[in-house]
Amino acid sequence: MMKVMEFIGYPEMIFAAVCFLSLHHLRSKIKTLPTNWPLLGMLPSLLINLPRFHCWATDILSSNACTFVFKGPWFTNMNHMVITSDPANMRHIFNTNFSNYPKGAEFNEFFDILGDGIFNADLDSWKTQRKMAHHFITDKKFQRFLVQTSVDKVKSGLIPVLEHVLEQNMVVDLQDLLKRFTFDTTLVLLSGIDPCCLAIEFNKFPYVDALDDAEEAIFHRHVIPVNLWKLQRFLGIGKEKKLSKAKEKLDQFIARCISTKRELQLEHEEKGVDLLASYMEHDDGSISDIFFRDTIINFLVAGRSTLSAALTWFFWLVSNNPIVEAKLIEELKKAISSENEDKKVKMFDTEYLKGLVYLHGALCEALRLFPSVPFEHKRPLNPDILPSGHKVDSKTKILPLLYSMGRMEVIWGKDCLEFKPERWITGEGRIKYVPSYKFMAFNSGPRTCLGKEIAFTQMRMVVATILYNYHVQVVQGQPISPKNSIILYMSHGMKVRIKRRV
């Protein structure tokens, strides 16, 4: 009897082992290259790998010549998606065939919180808004205002907070601190109003967190079927509930800013140098508060969100590369003015900082590896064939993945994952030219970011002040990973200690 039972047990054990190995293989397959399941398409693979979406997508593109066709459930708008990090495709979409790839109705629906602002606008509306913004940004009065605002906020906001953190030997979330800094400076440039989010009390501000919630919810609209997030919006649940509340908080805050600005304009009749003052000054009565609202929220995302994310990743990269840090400090020593030598905390002249080649290379290198906007969203008007050979039409959603682009060996070489500012410097010690369709941190083509120089001005000032005066020690053991958001924040922030640099 025992022998019979043993005989029966062996086949069962073998069958169980085969099932286990098959399931293990299947799960491994899902985690790497997506399996195109009946009805569901590749959606299960996406959902399983959602916590590591950026790395997962990079692995796929690296194994598929920088372009991959993602098949979602047949009954959704995800049925045919082309994801790409191919520079030739980028050039085609954003430059040479630009007119065939507008933002379009779907983009507006996904990013509805931005209203009819410059990021959502197409055709004449986009041209008008871009012309207005370009005129404002290139005005010499604004350029002086930008420098003065950056210097003032570093002196009155950033340095006092860093000194407090240092003296109290506190652990601080540097990402949160930089969000507060950039929210303040961006709002001052937009409205002349300083919300003073950056202070030693670290008080909570609902509208600051609301912006984060909105950016995260918009990301999730890209990775689940449209009908599903629309159902969530209708029912008021999930990420859509957070997005609705975020919009309400932001609208209330921006409405107060616009109202306050109108009152100040009427009372003082001054020619302001901030964006709202400039626009109101030239308003013949045709500009509505809705336009001002849309303009402010668009530029808040562009200025506050992208800049703070870029700076956070920069300091993380530098903290992990002491040789780069030493080279940066050595270069900064040459830029310090004699009048600053005896001061406890030394500041830098923005004009001197412009000429620092290694600093510029380090900032570009950080943006290559961690672009603040990790992906774009396109859909062609008319049928087209991408340089990669992929056919697309009006039913095809295209996701250019900028994060993955910086990690492609075929684009940047075998050392593509290394943080090397030298990558951006010529043999003669000058900044190396890299075409925008290869380095898309500031977009490419006609929609190239108007605020590129504003971003570099502020980044140089913040980086120089912090690096030269303080040593940023990243707390060991904390998880560091990209957040699932339309802005490439760190998922859990970045806890650091601040030490005086000797």
* Identity of residue 54: H
Using CA atoms of 259, 263, 266, 272 in order, give the dihedral in degrees to the nearest 10.
-80
Give the whole-angstrom CA distance, residue 502 versus residue 498: 12
Q: Which of 356, 247, 236, 359 is nearest to 301 (CA)?
A: 247
Using CA atoms of 110, 116, 117, 119 in order, give the dihedral in degrees to the nearest 10.
40
Q: Which structure tokens are listed for 352? A: 């001197």
Give the whole-angstrom CA distance, residue 355 versus residue 359: 9
**Residue 149, C-beta contacts closer than 8 angstroms, at least 6 positions apart:** 185, 188, 189
Q: Which of 20, 68, 24, 25 is nearest to 46 (CA)?
A: 68
Q: Is 449 annotated as a binding residue?
A: yes
**Residue 248, C-beta contacts closer than 8 angstroms, at least 6 positions apart:** none
- How many CB atoms neighbour CB 188 within 10 A? 20
Burial 85-103 (b: 16+ CB within 10 A, else e): bbbbbbbbbbbeeeebbbb
Q: Which structure tokens are listed for 346? A: 């030394």
Tell the residue number behind the tokens 């900082």, with chain if given: 353
Whether residue 290 contacts residue 115, with contact meaning beta carbons closer than 8 Å, is answered with: yes
CA angle 61, 370, 447 (to 5 degrees): 85
SS3 163: helix
Bridge-partner residues for 68, per DSSP?
A: 83
Would you list which residues are annotated within the binding site for heme? 449
Would you list which residues are annotated within the binding site? 449
